[in-house]
Amino acid sequence: MEPRMESCLAQVLQKDVGKRLQVGQELIDYFSDKQKSADLEHDQTMLDKLVDGLATSWVNSSNYKVVLLGMDILSALVTRLQDRFKAQIGTVLPSLIDRLGDAKDSVREQDQTLLLKIMDQAANPQYVWDRILGGFKHKNFRTREGICLCLIATLNASGAHTLTLSKIVPHICNLLGDPNSQVRDAAINSLVEIYRHVGERVRADLSKKGLPQSRLNVIFTKFDEVQKSGNMIQSAN
């Protein structure tokens, strides 16, 4: 069994883009088959090297097809390992945060899907969010925007009760003054989504954050629109 895992690691670590694109699906099939890849359960060192190679060499690749394949392989590993993947989260998150700012829509979308899958199957949402808060200050504006979009997706997938929003809201408030208009819009939309889930106490909380009144007026107007639209989550009051 060991030589097979050794060859998988060798395939993950080799640099040839063409070969990577060839072996990607084979790796997914192999890791998805519990009998063939039984060593994943027993050889922690091998697993650590595999995930590190995928995060640093595939997800960080300049070739978007390799990036997408790398995420597919990681997704297969999450499905296979479930909460045992939790130990790998710290290894993969820096690359996944960077890719939230990718120029290609397909990469950003797949990245969001993988992050939500990790929150669903490998660890609870707050565990992941405690480790991606730095994304709110990322140098790439698309990553800052992407973190806001990820928060909206997390709320809709898991509910507000799974997150300690008091840890997250100050980071969003900082982005309300971001130099990039897309980031500012995403930050406002995040607050509107939190309001939709949590209700009026968000308004009271924001009033204490020292935000400019003009900015608060814009946000509160959007809160009022959601309230009137009937789109509030049922438990929010």
Does the pLDDT value for residue 1 go beyond 80? no
Contacts of 229 (CB under 8 A, 6+ apart): none
Query: What are the φ/ψ torsions at residue 208 (nearest 5 degrees)?
Result: -95, 0
Average pLDDT, the chain: 93
Question: Which of 64-68, 114-118, 173-177, 229-233 has the lowest average pLDDT?
Answer: 229-233
| Residue 163 contacts residue 125 (beta carbons within 8 Å) | yes
Output the pLDDT for position 7. 87
- Is it the case that residue 234 has pLDDT exceeding 90? no
The mean pLDDT value for 151-166 works out to 95
> How many alpha carbons lie under 13 Å from residue 156 in its C-beta half-sphere?
12
CATH of 141-237, one of 1.25.10.10, 3.40.50.10490, 1.20.1440.130, 3.40.50.720: 1.25.10.10
Structure tokens given for 160: 């507000």
**139-151 mean pLDDT:** 97
Residues of the chain within CATH 1.25.10.10 domain(s) are: 1-123, 141-237
Residue 108's closest CA among 120, 90, 96? 96
CA angle 20, 24, 29 (to 5 degrees): 155
At residue 134 the predicted structure's pLDDT band, cuts being 50, 70 and 90, is: very high
